[in-house]
A and B are shown apart, each in its own frame.
Chain A
């Protein structure tokens, strides 16, 4: 079983993002992690290979040199090797990233399955699985929270709203974009963390894979902080009932309920 997992190097969701200039952010001292959604894909991949009894999970990342550090945590979770396609572009466009991922995978081996996360927590593009699938001409399903693979067929479940779930069928190899609920990603143990340091990470430049760097900078035109909440609007109702009614109305008006 040759499984590739596309894992993105992203800032920790708990970290504060310090905006630099008009449209950049400061990465000094910023804690980076594997995109949480990619971890569900990684966990699924490792389980697949464990179940098959043979094969390997390979992490593929497009990111800066420091991403190798983040990839180590993915390796600690059970991936065998990593491939890093180096790019310092913090906002690399999805199409270029997908082409790079495809080229890196293709150069390495023949995928039986490809996993990604449903979206990245930094640029929130929600499109990588589709683009990678297009590059390979594989079937794709995204936001998958249940998966079964049997005899060359993948059956995947995804939520479509109101608690309802859609069950999709496709043949393998295919691309699955994972989300919460697919599994519980394992916490790496110390021996695995130390072993991960010795696992191979092959590094490539975009040019090595025949990918042209994108013509324009993928950075947004502007990046602005969303001010932290600065104080609740307290319901002023005289009685409990009045406050509650005011709350419910407010929530409905703002379409939260």
Chain B
């Protein structure tokens, strides 16, 4: 049975839920034996959670007396050593910021192909599907190399429970050379307003916002969402927002996970600046607004009514 190694991400002592989809991808049609590697926690603590999703072995990855988390190089090299040790056919991780980094290093260390950010995998056909051209096309790519190295887009694969018996183990990788890159510190998140082009969520106000002050309503929602606030060209043109907030072809191009357009009609120029957003929501009281033809979800309503309620509902669900 082919063996698939998986690098697990943990947080505050627990296995992050996003790992389960990764594990489902790792196991295929129960074709593969899945071995999980964990660097932060105690493998034993995570065992039951991981076993529920098909992991038969949970390995504590170590680098002797060193701190494996003090350098991404160390972690990647340990993982490379584990590949050999456990004779892995495949090794997978999450396409999160940490995961992308470790696996980028891993692919280079092993000098094998890396397929990053896949959304599905077919072990039989030896292919995986991922985005090409910023979400405009889907590419089915070959899985090659030994081991096959890939990362999975978080939440792209629905987790499917597959309880198995699991055991724990420890692996001490021999990584003799000093790492090239060290983690000096980790800074907590900043409180300042998020930069539009980097924000994972954006809420934009169009011309119906009517006045600069009315953006406060969006600011409040943005705070709960962890979003940045944008403006349409028409709104900037009318003097309701500064140019730095303009999203669109002649403004900023953004690609957040979630884009909420309030009172935005959906001009081609505006769309060119945000169409690669993963999910687009429109709030507009004109049911014929073109944006409703081009977004994923919509609410037909006055944004001055809808947005405050949205803020409220989001706050309430956070507190839950």
- Give me the interface of A with B, judged by CB distance under 8 Å: 11, 13-14, 16-17, 19, 23, 25, 36, 93-95, 119, 121-127, 129-131, 133-134, 138-143, 145, 155, 157-171, 174, 180-181, 216, 220-226, 228-235, 240-241, 243-245, 247-248, 250-252, 254-257
Contact A228:B294 (CB < 8 A) given known A133-B108, A155-B184: yes
Set of chain B residues within 8 Å of A171, measured between Cβ atoms = 180
* 11 A–B contacts, CB within 8 A, in A order: A17-B137, A94-B113, A122-B133, A124-B131, A127-B107, A160-B98, A163-B188, A226-B131, A226-B136, A232-B292, A232-B297
Known: A140-B181, A221-B127, A255-B155; 9 extra A-B contacts, CB below 8 A, are A124-B116, A164-B189, A165-B189, A167-B186, A169-B182, A225-B136, A229-B280, A232-B298, A244-B299
A162 and B132 CA atoms in complex are apart in Å by 26
Contact between chains at A143 and B132 (CB < 8 Å): no
A10 and B141 CA atoms in complex are apart in Å by 19
Contact A140:B185 (CB < 8 A) given known A122-B133, A222-B140, A226-B137: no
Set of chain A residues within 8 Å of B310, measured between Cβ atoms = 244, 247-248
Contact between chains at B107 and A11 (CB < 8 Å): no
Number of A-B contacts (CB under 8 A): 223
Contact between chains at B297 and A126 (CB < 8 Å): no
Set of chain A residues within 8 Å of B298, measured between Cβ atoms = 232-235
Contact A142:B114 (CB < 8 A) given known A220-B139, A223-B137: no
Contact between chains at B258 and A240 (CB < 8 Å): no
Contact between chains at B305 and A240 (CB < 8 Å): yes
Contact A244:B313 (CB < 8 A) given known A124-B134, A140-B181: yes
Set of chain B residues within 8 Å of A221, measured between Cβ atoms = 127, 140-142
- Give me the interface of B with A, judged by CB distance under 8 Å: 72-73, 96-98, 100-101, 104-105, 107-109, 111, 113-114, 116-117, 127, 130-142, 144, 154-155, 180-190, 195, 197-198, 225-226, 249, 253, 257-258, 272, 276, 278-282, 291-301, 305-306, 309-310, 313-314, 317
Contact A220:B299 (CB < 8 A) given known A231-B293, A251-B281: no
Set of chain A residues within 8 Å of B104, measured between Cβ atoms = 126-127, 129-130, 142
Dominant secondary structure at the A interface: mixed
Set of chain B residues within 8 Å of A228, measured between Cβ atoms = 294
A35 and B312 CA atoms in complex are apart in Å by 40
Set of chain B residues within 8 Å of A254, measured between Cβ atoms = 279
Contact between chains at B137 and A126 (CB < 8 Å): no
Q: Which interface residue of A11, A157, A251 has the most chain B CB atoms within 10 A? A: A251
Contact between chains at A248 and B183 (CB < 8 Å): no
Contact between chains at A161 and B96 (CB < 8 Å): yes
Contact between chains at A158 and B314 (CB < 8 Å): no
Contact between chains at B136 and A140 (CB < 8 Å): no
A219 to chain B: closest CB distance in Å?
9
Contact between chains at B294 and A229 (CB < 8 Å): yes
Set of chain B residues within 8 Å of A139, measured between Cβ atoms = 73, 180-181
Contact between chains at A166 and B136 (CB < 8 Å): no
Contact A169:B108 (CB < 8 A) given known A159-B97, A223-B139: no
Set of chain A residues within 8 Å of B108, measured between Cβ atoms = 127, 130-131, 133-134, 140
Set of chain A residues within 8 Å of B190, measured between Cβ atoms = 163, 165
